[in-house]
Amino acid sequence: MTTSSETKKLVAVTGASTGIGAATARELAHRGFHVLAGVRRDRDADTIRAAGVEPVILDITEPEHVEALAERITADPRPLHALINNAGIQVNGPVESLPMDRWRWVFEVNLFGHVAITQALLPALLASKGRVINISSIGGKVAMATYGAYAGAKFALEAVSDSLRREVEPLGVHVIVVEPGGVRTEIANRGVATANDLAAGMTAEQEGRYGDMVRATNALMATGTEAGVSAEVAARVLAKVVTARKPRTRYAIGKPAAVITRLTRVLSDRTLDRVLAANLRRQQPAAAVPAHSG
């Protein structure tokens, strides 16, 4: 799979400590790229370091980290072929009860951090006519109950991607959105744990309004993760996006993502509401499902 041209190219991957980011870094190194793998801790750097994978300490919300990566790339004679904006967090809770500091942090990591690193690396990508690959989610197409903050940031990332594509594709830079469905990664498991912790902080009134919904959503999230594709399968899709001569503007990872993306195009909002509500009721205990007469 390795070609002589690919061994002369860099790829930067954010959020490469675990999951999709780590698997993608290894897959691209196997294909001959030199991968700058963004990790937040020294122990994660030690874990991922390998032939073709160079770990860099990178918190995308820290300007000095972003600047250091840009300087590292500028000093390298090899062109930057792609930036993969993969770093992210998952924080779920009802709009009413999710604290504002959590809202801001979700957008800081899942949107503004990506914008910051894209701004910093665009000069190198324009010079190489490379590509920006933004990892969105099916949450960037449909916002389920309790997904307001997470989906809000992903919807915004999709919009930014569209705008950026229309700005830089005439200059030779491809902008691609990748929308994973269920993927068996630590971020999903951490998302469930965080959602449960946040639910414990709801007031009694909020618990009465949203408690069953939150528990059902968390169960659905856990089930979707367990049934999802592996990080390695997702990495192979991303490698295809990196190497495609004429990449599409969007790619889905996993059958659920492809199906839900299609449904959002053909169903009305009310119909989609009913589909999602029915799916959620399957996760609720029988006692929590209202009885219907007649």
Positions annotated as catalytic residues are 150
Asked if pLDDT for residue 289 goes beyond 80, the answer is no
Q: What is the mean pLDDT of the chain?
A: 90
Query: Tell me: the pLDDT tens digits for 216-254?
Result: 888 887 776 666 788 999 999 999 999 999 999 999 998
Give the Å distances, CA to CA, from 248 to 68, 142, 241. 31, 21, 8
Give the pLDDT of residue 169. 98
Task: Find the DSSP H helices in the chain.
Answer: 19-30, 42-48, 63-74, 100-107, 113-128, 148-168, 186-200, 204-226, 231-243, 255-266, 269-281
Task: Say if 290 falls within a structural domain.
Answer: no
Closest of 4, 1, 11 to residue 53, by C-alpha: 11
Within-domain flag for 10:
yes
Domain of residue 252 covers 6-285
The answer to whether residue 61 sits within a structural domain is: yes
Q: How far apart are CA 117 and CA 66, in angstroms?
A: 6
Encoded tokens for 219: 């169960």
Looking at the chain, the whole-number percentage of residues with pLDDT higher than 70 is 91
Q: Please give the average per-residue pLDDT across 34-55, as a whole number.
A: 97
- Averaged pLDDT, 189-215: 87
Residue 268 — very low, low, confident or very high, per pLDDT cuts 50/70/90? very high
Q: How many structural domains does the chain have?
A: 1
Give the pLDDT confidence of 22-40 residue by residue, as tens digits.
Answer: 999 999 999 999 999 999 9
How far apart CA 131 and CA 19 sit, in angstroms, is 22
pLDDT digits over 83-118, tens only?
999 999 999 999 999 999 999 999 999 999 999 999
Q: What is the pLDDT of residue 41?
A: 95
pLDDT average, residue stretch 53-67? 98
State mean pLDDT over 168-173: 98
Residue 111 maps to a domain: yes
pLDDT at 290: 46
Q: What band does 293 get if pLDDT is binned at 50, 70 and 90?
A: very low
With a CB cutoff of 8 Å and minimum separation 6, the contacts of 220 are 279, 280, 283
Q: Is 293 contained in some domain? A: no
Closest CA relative to residue 182, chosen from 238, 89, 256: 256
Query: Average pLDDT in the 179-201 region?
Result: 79
Answer whether residue 171 is part of any domain: yes
Q: Is residue 274 part of a domain?
A: yes
Structure tokens at 193: 């744990």
Query: Does residue 291 sit within a domain?
Result: no
Task: Give the Cα separation of 274 and 247 in Å (integer).
Answer: 35
- What pLDDT, on the 0 to 100 scale, is given for residue 104? 98
CATH code of the domain covering residue 247: 3.40.50.720
